[in-house]
Amino acid sequence: MKRQHIAVVVFLSLLGSLAYISTLQHDFVWDDNFQIVRNPFLHHDESVIQIFTTDVWGYTKPGQGGVSNYYRPLQMLCYRWISHAVGLDPFFFHLTNVILHVVVTLLCYLIYWYLTQTLVVAAFGASLFALHPIHTEAVAWIGALPELGCAIFMLLSFLIFLMSKVPGSSNTKARGQGFPKAWQSLTNHRRLLLGAGSLVSFSISLLWKEMALSLPVLVAAYQFVIPRRPQRVKERLFAAIQQSLPYVGVVVLYLIWRYQVLGFISRRQQAWELNPIEFIGNGLYLIAKYWIKLLLPLQLNSFHVFDSVRFFTDIRILSSIGFLVVIGVFLWKSFRVAPLACYLTSWVFLSLVPVLNIAGVGINVFAERYLYIPSFGFCLLLPLLVFKLGRQTKCSRFLAGASLVLLAIWYGSQTYSRNKVWKDDLTLYSQTVLDSPNSALIRNAYAQVLSSKKKDTEGAERQYWQAIELANRRHPKDLQQIANAYGGLGGIYAQRGQYEKALEVVEKGLATGNYPIETGIGYGLVLMHLGRLQEAATALQAIHEIYPNDELVLDALGVLALGRKELNRAMIYFKKAVKLVPDFASAHNNLGRTYMEMRRFTEALPHLQKAQSISPNDPVISTNLSMVLAGLGRPSEARQYLEHALKIAPDYQAARSLLKILR
């Protein structure tokens, strides 16, 4: 038996690794570019205490309390450890996700085997978990690390809880057979240790993600649905409440700490409001959608647009209620005859409860990564029913296994195909804009990537205008995305030298009443180009007070200071910008210019070389670099960079004039 378990563990480890090995070559995408690349709290000279005393976006507004509902300090701590050990190499961040997914898969296998005492069923269930395509977002995206960390410690807590319940169990036949003798003869001392271990693991899971809040209910449900001995319903209910009380105590302590850190337990993050009836209706609709995605993982999408349901007569509500009634009947029927199947079905429902807080979960109300933990119940339920059905209809065990193998192969192919979408920002957004063409947020994100990565300003302009149109159609209007789109358009028009037009669209963004950083920066930069320096300084300083760690604002303020010949002040801004984002070409270039103004050519050279390596086709950077090289007495190298600048921009007068002097 021991050799069989080892073989299964090795097989599952390989399966979970191979399913996501292609992601090791992927880049940072989406929030990774902010939470990792531009997060000063990950720097070794910043206090680690900041990670535990703010939420995941707290670095944008240090010292200003909670910015969002996402209090996940262990996510940020893990990022910090990785960046300290190996730097900002996405390979190691993706490798961490893959390893954690394998660990979760093995924990699933241990719990499945505990619950069924059948190696084949447990192995099939864990294999389906390893390969289920609904997990691609959670594993392939670095930013979904909290799903994996939370799952590990939540499942570990549940496993330890189960271990403390082995003696006297009667929920499956021969319960206790095959378990280590130490498990079958637990002393009170060992039970206390296991109970404490379960609570510690649960506490850690809460610091990974809020979804762990469902564990006390899952523990109570297990005690109620699968009692240690035959009991009446009232006795079961009392035992369930009693068993969950220590976990509830941990939740209370967590909520107190969370309130102290954030200043709130949860706050609204959605523009639209729902009355209690609408809230219930949308909750039913969401649960049904999650179940359908588990059953049929088709049309997977990185950003599902959620349109709230307002009336119970809506076909979406009616069909959801019908679907849930069917599952409810299954729960009722299985409660007596198949308690394990009943519990696994309940697991899906109960573990989804934290993400049904529609007003507080964020802009993507329905997200595939939220199914990572709920799928634990589904992935064992499926093989359990398949093998049971095979026995009842006299089908061979081979056919039941073959059907599950085919399902696993289909899951694996879907996962492999879906992984490719998360390769980089351009791939992700170009696909997601096809999957969710009605999302203003995705249109804005795609436009930004088109402009910055592909230099396709015309395509970006079209996407921004479509985003504005879509955001205006929402009820209520999505003012945040309207303002973001106008800010993006302002940047495009400024690049073209159309500063008056840029100012016009940016002011439209500001008129929405929102003050997103993208629009505010665009406003300040356009004012700079128009020569309205004092107004630009006032606007940028206002943003800097709100977002002191934004590298674009710092760079713009540095440029203003440099223009006023406040060289020491400019240097402070530029140094902080390059510290926040080491690959920020503009800040390196401007810091080099500042040193050049001070005649400190030796210190200017590495920054301009860095800027040139990041943006080799920028004629301004190449020209600045040539000036420094000339100042250092290296005219031949200086001429090479000037010739390169003129090759890129033949009409660039500064480069042409300097080249004449050097010749």
Please state, for a pLDDT cut of 90, what percent of the chain lies above it: 50
pLDDT of residue 203: 97
Stretch 355-375: mean pLDDT, rounded? 87
pLDDT of residue 378: 95
- Which residue has better confidence, 252 or 582? 252
Stretch 175-201: mean pLDDT, rounded? 70
What are the angstrom distances between the C-alpha of 69 and each of 56, 210, 269, 477?
A: 9, 9, 8, 23
pLDDT digits (tens, 9 = 90+) for 66-99: 778 899 999 999 999 999 999 889 999 999 999 9
516 pLDDT tier (thresholds 50, 70, 90): low
User: Is residue 402 pLDDT above 90, yes or no?
Assistant: no
pLDDT of residue 595: 93
Stretch 105-116: mean pLDDT, rounded? 95
The answer for residues whose C-beta is within 8 angstroms of residue 547's C-beta and 6 or more apart is: 60, 61, 517, 553
Q: How many CB atoms lie within 10 A of CB 355?
A: 23
pLDDT digits (tens, 9 = 90+) for 621-635: 998 898 888 888 888
- Which residue has better confidence, 453 or 248? 248
Residue 34 buriedness (CB in 10 A; 0-12 / 13-18 / 19+): middle
Residues 521 and 487 sit within 8 Å (Cβ to Cβ): yes
Q: What are phi and psi of 276, to 5 degrees?
A: -55, -40
pLDDT of residue 177: 45
- Which residue has better confidence, 317 or 371? 371
What are the angstrom distances between the C-alpha of 482 and each of 417, 433, 441, 514, 523?
A: 33, 17, 9, 9, 15
**Tokens 């979804």 label which residue?**
211
DSSP 603: H
230 pLDDT tier (thresholds 50, 70, 90): low
- Which residue has better confidence, 636 or 154? 154
pLDDT digits (tens, 9 = 90+) for 182-192: 455 556 778 88
70 Rama sector, left if φ>0, alpha if ψ -120 to 50, beta otherwise: beta
Say how far apart CA 546 and CA 539 lie, in whole Å: 11
The residue extents of the domains of the chain are: 2-420, 437-549
For residue 472, what are its two tokens?
A: 């205006």
Q: Read out DSSP for 213-273?
A: GGHHHHHHHHHHHS-SS---HHHHHHHHHHHHHHHHHHHHHHHHHHHHHHSSS-----SS-
What are the angstrom distances between the C-alpha of 6 and each of 10, 110, 113, 325, 408?
A: 6, 12, 13, 41, 21
Say how far apart CA 141 and CA 415 lie, in whole Å: 13
For the chain, the 3-state helix, strand and coil shares in percent, each to the nearest 5, are 75, 0, 25
Instruction: Calculate helix-pair angle for 653-662, 619-631, nearest 10 degrees.
Output: 30
User: Is residue 293 pLDDT above 90, yes or no?
Assistant: yes
Q: Which fold has domain 437-549?
A: 1.25.40
172 pLDDT tier (thresholds 50, 70, 90): very low
For residue 58, what are its two tokens?
A: 């707290």
Of the ranges 172-176, 233-237, 301-305, 640-644, which is most confident?
301-305
pLDDT digits (tens, 9 = 90+) for 411-444: 999 999 999 999 999 999 999 999 999 999 999 9
pLDDT of residue 357: 82
Give the 3-state secondary structure of residue 297. Answer: coil
206 pLDDT tier (thresholds 50, 70, 90): very high
Instruction: Calculate helix-pair angle for 440-452, 425-435, nearest 10 degrees.
Output: 150
pLDDT digits (tens, 9 = 90+) for 236-290: 888 889 889 999 999 999 999 999 998 888 887 766 677 777 788 888 888 999 9
User: Is residue 178 pLDDT above 60, yes or no?
Assistant: no
Cα diameter, the chain: 98
| Summary mean pLDDT of the chain | 88
392 pLDDT tier (thresholds 50, 70, 90): low
pTM summary value: 0.89
167 pLDDT tier (thresholds 50, 70, 90): very low
Cα 260 from chain centroid (whole Å): 24
User: Is residue 485 pLDDT above 80, yes or no?
Assistant: yes
pLDDT digits (tens, 9 = 90+) for 21-45: 999 999 999 999 989 988 889 988 8
